Every structure is written in C-alpha cells, then in structure tokens.
Chain A
Amino acid sequence: AQTVTQSQPEMSVQEAETVTLSCTYDTSESDYYLFWYKQPPSRQMILVIRQEAYKQQNATENRFSVNFQKAAKSFSLKISDSQLGDAAMYFCAYRSAGGQGGKLIFGQGTELSVKP
C-alpha cells in the first residue's frame, strides 16, 4: 500500500523569504500523481500544485514550485516570496494513475506560519 510522509509537523518563515516543505512517499507503482493541498484556518482544502510522475520537469505555479525526485520518492514544495496569506496547513497527497477516479492518500500535514 502507498504511504505519504511529511516529517515536518511545523515550519516557520519570515515574510518575503523562501521556505521548503518536505514530503516523501512509498509506492511500487511507476505512474502516479502527486499534489500539494493548502488548508487555511477555514479548513477548506485548496489545490496548490500537481505533478505527474511521468514528467521530469518540475511543476510551477506562480510562487509555488516543486522539487520532484522520482528515484528518491521525494516531492518537496517551495514557496517563494512568502506572504501572510500563505500561513496554513499544507498536505502532500498521492494518487495512483490508473483510471480517473483514484483516491487521494494524504500525509500528516505541515503547519506553516509566516512571520511579518
């Protein structure tokens, strides 16, 4: 069974600085998707970024980028120019690529605080 591990329960960053959140996963599958979701205090789950395992190029969405290391089964999220609104719980998630309707498997989450 696939597992997702986030080893940093809490992280802190100064406003305008850069922070990297770590995620590792375990799978025997060769094709899958990885996601980062943001959960602000409202507890809404918001998709931040996605990565297809077959793509070597790291995904980027504005200030958010990932470092996907398939051999190491690592999928870290980099937030550049951190803003106060980035403060939230961040979850890494895995999904098998077979079919369209696969479940998401989440990590334990990393609570990010942003200091002004």
Chain B
Amino acid sequence: EPEVTQTPSHQVTQMGQEVILRCVPISNHLYFYWYRQILGQKVEFLVSFYNNEISEKSEIFDDQFSVERPDGSNFTLKIRSTKLEDSAMYFCASSYPTNEQFFGPGTRLTVL
C-alpha cells in the first residue's frame, strides 16, 4: 500500500541553523501539507501546497519557513534560522483523489 515517507526521523540542530525536512508524498496525490505537533499538544496546520504554490498557510508559517517541491517526488520544509520553540514533531501529509489526508511518520526536530 502506498505511503508517505519522511526523512530524517530525528533531526538535532543548534539554534540559528537551517534545517530541511524531507517528505515523499503518495505518488498520485496532488495536495501536500505540513503540520507540526509540539510535545503534548495538538497537531497544528502549517501550510498546504498545490500546483507548485502555497494554497494556504497559518500564522505559524512566517518568513522563517518555506516549502518546495524540487522534483516530481519530494516535498520539503525549510526552516531558515531555527529557534528553541521550533522543537516539535513535523508531519507531512498528502491527499487526492479522496479527501483523506495520509500522514507520514513524522520528523522529530530538536533545537538545542
């Protein structure tokens, strides 16, 4: 069964460093998303992406964040200058043709 994959599973970085989180959505899906979950809290929407552009973003998704689909398979989330409060689990998801969003296993980001 097709699934969303994410790499790395765990990323440790120093405050102020740039990180890139990678996702491979399900191959026939057209909509892509990033969510984050701070430990012990609910899952929060960051951004959605369709047709090579951002379709919606939340207040969390400020200028420090960017997304890209550099080729036909990968979908990346870049955080330019990480802060301590960026420590969280980051989930990639994809959808279409159904309305369900299928989630990847997540990347745990730890900012020291």
Q: How many inter-chain contacts with C-beta < 8 Å in the A-B complex?
A: 63
| Shortest Cβ distance from residue A10 to the other chain B in the assembled complex, whole angstroms | 12
Name the residue on B nearest A109 (C-beta): B42
Q: A42-B105, A44-B105, A45-B91 are in contact. Are A50 and B99 (CB under 8 A)?
A: yes
B43 at the interface (CB under 8 A from A): yes
**B13-21, B27-35, B62-70: which lies at the A interface?**
B27-35
Provide the residues of chain A in CB contact with B91, threshold 8 Å. Answer: 45
Number of residues on chain B facing chain A (CB within 8 A): 29
Contact A100 B101 (CB under 8 A): no
Provide the residues of chain A in CB contact with B108, threshold 8 Å. Answer: 43
Interface of B is mostly: strand
| Shortest Cβ distance from residue B39 to the other chain A in the assembled complex, whole angstroms | 10
Q: A91-B42, A103-B56 are in contact. Are A44 and B106 (CB under 8 A)?
A: yes
Q: Hey, which bits of chain B sit against chain A, CB under 8 A?
A: 30-31, 33, 35, 37, 41-45, 48, 50, 55-56, 58, 89, 91, 93, 95-97, 99-103, 105-106, 108
Q: Hey, which bits of chain A sit against chain B, CB under 8 A?
A: 33, 35, 37, 42-47, 50, 91, 93, 95, 100-109
Instruction: List 6 A-B pairs, Cβ < 8 Å.
Output: A45-B103, A47-B102, A100-B30, A101-B95, A103-B58, A104-B43
| Shortest Cβ distance from residue A39 to the other chain B in the assembled complex, whole angstroms | 8
Contact B45 A101 (CB under 8 A): no
Provide the residues of chain B in CB contact with A42, threshold 8 Å. Answer: 105
Contact B45 A43 (CB under 8 A): no
Name the residue on A nearest B46 (C-beta): A103
Query: What 7 additional pairs, Cβ within 8 angstroms, besides A44-B103, A47-B101, A91-B42?
Result: A43-B89, A100-B99, A101-B31, A103-B48, A104-B33, A104-B45, A106-B44
